[in-house]
Amino acid sequence: MVAALDNCRMLRPGESSAERLCSYGGVQRLPYDKLEIFQRKAFLEPDVCGELIALIEANRRPSTLADHNGDHYFRTSETCDLEPEEQSVRRLETLLEELNGIDPAYGEPVQGQRYDVGQEFKPHVDWFDPGGQDWEKYCSVSGQRTWTFMIYLNHVEAGGSTRFKAIKKNVRPETGKLLCWNNRNPDLAGNVNTIHHGMKVRQGIKYVITKWYRERPWGWE
């Protein structure tokens, strides 16, 4: 039924589909009606994961929030913007395009995150609130975020899971494992059921790659 529905609907720019993702091989759609969410183990090779970790370590900085909510401990990780010329980043971008079929022009630059012991990203959604104070700043050019693709770069000794509150699902970090979801409902409004928590790392360090896509081509330098 899902595939049939996908066949009947013309995809908009910046979108992927269950049919496209599941045709890649090894992709599993998780059985929840509240959101479209998928995973694929061993999506990225361990050596590429290692190269990306090294880039994150070399260029990390404190993570920030688009709409600051006054909680200085809401997002305590570190972030790294990854240069598209890096060989490992090019490899990742190629794999993502093969997987999701989205024109790369609609993607934000690849970003890496690093979580040390005790660091977290409290429950949040990836889409922007149209009534938020920074909507015009972050969405006037490229529009709303459509899909999120996240890859865990390493196994974490304890903690660091991604918890989707609405469906009560915890996803544990595994080297090279991909997790992706549609940020919107069929009416294109942000899906509140995508709320997720990057839970505290209890032991070890967690490294993650995130790639977001937009409704319109990415226009920021």
Q: Name which of 153, 143, 165 is nearest 212 in CA terms.
A: 143
Mean pLDDT (the chain) is 92
Q: Which of 13-27, 72-86, 93-107 has the lowest mean pLDDT?
A: 72-86
E strands, 127-173, are 145-152, 158-159, 162-164, 169-171
The domains found in the chain, sorted by start residue, are 2-214 (2.60.120.620)
Quote the CA–CA distance of 64 and 74 in Å, as a whole number.
9
Residue 9 banded pLDDT, cuts 50, 70, 90: low
Answer whether 177's CB lies under 8 Å from 152's CB.
yes
| pLDDT of 1 strictly over 60 | no
Average pLDDT on 198-211 reads 98
Residue 69 has what pLDDT? 60
Helix (H) / strand (E) element for 139: namely helix 135-139
Which residue is listed with tokens 């700043």?
137
In this prediction, residues 80-99 reach a mean pLDDT of: 97
**What band does 219 get if pLDDT is binned at 50, 70 and 90?**
confident
Q: What is the pLDDT of residue 73?
A: 72
pLDDT tens for residues 96-109? 999 999 999 999 99
Q: What percent of the chain has pLDDT over 90?
A: 83
Our separate counts of H helices and E strands in the chain read 5, 14
Instruction: Provide the pLDDT for residue 13.
Output: 87
pLDDT for 96 equals: 98
Helix H, strand E, coil C: the string for 16-62 is CCHHHHHCCCCCEECCCCCCCEEEECCCCCHHHHHHHHHHHHHHCEE
The string of pLDDT tens digits covering residues 160-180 is 999 999 999 999 999 999 999
Whether this model's pTM surpasses 0.85: yes
